[in-house]
Amino acid sequence: MAEARQKELMSLRAGWPSEGVRPPRLVSVALGEGTPFSVYQRQQRRWAERLGIQFEAIALPEHTGGETLKARLRALDSDPSVHGILLQHPLPPPLDFFDLVSGLSPEKDVDGVGSVNLGRLVAGRPLQVPAVARAVFSVLKHYRYSIPGRRVVVLGRSETVGLPTALLFLLRGEGGDATVTVAHSRTRELSQTTREAELVVSCAGHPGLLGRQAVRPGAAVVDVGVSTRADPKAPGGMTVVGDADHADLQGYASALTPVPGGIGPVTSVELMANVLRGWALGEGLGTLP
Ligand SMILES: NC(=O)c1ccc[n+]([C@@H]2O[C@H](COP(=O)([O-])OP(=O)(O)OC[C@H]3O[C@@H](n4cnc5c(N)ncnc54)[C@H](OP(=O)(O)O)[C@@H]3O)[C@@H](O)[C@H]2O)c1
């Protein structure tokens, strides 16, 4: 699925002029070296290179202050050769991730989590949307899953994952028009709520949350959750799992995205789609589907 979306983006790129425009460029900023962020940055570089996007990883000292970080982000933001900026998070307090990314130009905020991008999504005019939320819709589109009128439960309400996903389902038009319930850790009778859905999108990060008791027969499940669990048989003693009990739902749910290998790789491609969207806007080439 990730390959299909990657191919689609590559053919879109091929249709755009390469002369007279700057090449697309993504800059990823992290605090500290040799942290898990370095691993993410290596993955980002790999995906960027696959789509012909220049990539630069910046590792600032771990204890960089808010003003210095803001100034660095401002400089990147005003550099016309930079089309996308990522700020690796969580950040150590008192640094405020939301505040910092909200200072970026909306088209360069390729995480799609700043105040303008969130506001545009709420207003039904999305620009940059968190890649994981886009990935959910890419997968549903790929499998020709019709969304309008569906009863959908989104499990999770974080500003970076659950909430933007729920808002996309609510958008007016072909890819949206769903009837959406957002559930979270304070939802009473959670299983009863999720059983009402034709489609459950689980973004809780809680392994085993969704088994037959919580899913109606024949419902579809998109498993966004990614957690690790001790597994003596797995290399390194850990295995990656989603929110759904995949063994329990096999042959019971009408569709179920795998973990790992489901939403995760598509999210990486959608992040690069956001960079290409920022690039196309920055270079005056139009918009990217
Ligand atoms: N596949 C990908 O590419 C990708 C990308 C990003 C994130 N993820 C994964 O998506 C998951 C969510 O990420 P996040 O950043 O949104 O996490 P988060 O900030 O911890 O939010 C989790 C959300 O799930 C709710 N929740 C947690 N446990 C629950 C339970 N037992 N029952 C009902 N609701 C529950 C929380 O409710 P409250 O609001 O009440 O606390 C919260 O709204 C994580 O597993 C993360 O690794 C995957």
User: Residue 181's domain is classified under what CATH number?
Assistant: 3.40.50.720
Asked whether residue 131 is assigned to any structural domain, the reply reads no
Mutate to test the pocket of ligand 1, among 157, 191, 227 (most ligand atoms within 8 A of CB): 157
User: Do 38 and 77 have their domain in common?
Assistant: yes
Mean pLDDT across the stretch 222-248? 94
User: Do 199 and 164 have their domain in common?
Assistant: yes
Asked whether residue 178 is assigned to any structural domain, the reply reads yes
Asked whether residue 289 is assigned to any structural domain, the reply reads no
CB distance 185 to ligand 1 below 6 Å: yes
Q: Are 114 and 106 in contact (CB under 8 A)?
A: yes
pLDDT at site 38: 85
Asked whether residue 51 is assigned to any structural domain, the reply reads yes
CB distance 209 to ligand 1 below 6 Å: yes
Pairwise pLDDT comparison (240 vs 13), residue with the higher score: 240
User: pLDDT for 21-54, tens place per residue?
Assistant: 999 999 999 998 877 888 889 999 999 999 999 9
Asked whether residue 134 is assigned to any structural domain, the reply reads no
CB distance 153 to ligand 1 below 6 Å: no
CB distance 191 to ligand 1 below 6 Å: no
Mutate to test the pocket of ligand 1, among 118, 129, 161, 223 (most ligand atoms within 8 A of CB): 161
CB distance 228 to ligand 1 below 6 Å: no
Q: How many domains does the chain fold into?
A: 2
Domain containing residue 96: 20-115+266-282
pLDDT at site 72: 98
User: Do 250 and 271 have their domain in common?
Assistant: no
Asked whether residue 251 is assigned to any structural domain, the reply reads yes
- Outline where 128-257 has alpha helix (H): 131-142, 162-170, 190-195, 246-249
> Does the structure show a pLDDT above 90 at 89?
yes
111 CA to middle of ligand 1, Å? Answer: 17
User: Do 247 and 272 have their domain in common?
Assistant: no
pLDDT at site 289: 63
User: Do 106 and 154 have their domain in common?
Assistant: no
**Would you place residue 258 in the very low, low, confident or very high pLDDT band (cuts 50, 70, 90)?**
very high
| Percent of the chain residues topping a pLDDT of 70 | 99
User: Do 81 and 39 have their domain in common?
Assistant: yes
CATH number at residue 39: 3.40.50.10860
Q: What is the pTM of this model?
A: 0.96
> Does the structure show a pLDDT above 70 at 207?
yes
Mutate to test the pocket of ligand 1, among 111, 222, 226 (most ligand atoms within 8 A of CB): 226
Mean pLDDT across the stretch 139-159? 97
Closest to 51 in 3D by CA, of 87, 92, 3? 3
204 CA to middle of ligand 1, Å? Answer: 3
pLDDT at site 287: 76
> Does the structure show a pLDDT above 70 at 74?
yes
User: Do 238 and 161 have their domain in common?
Assistant: yes
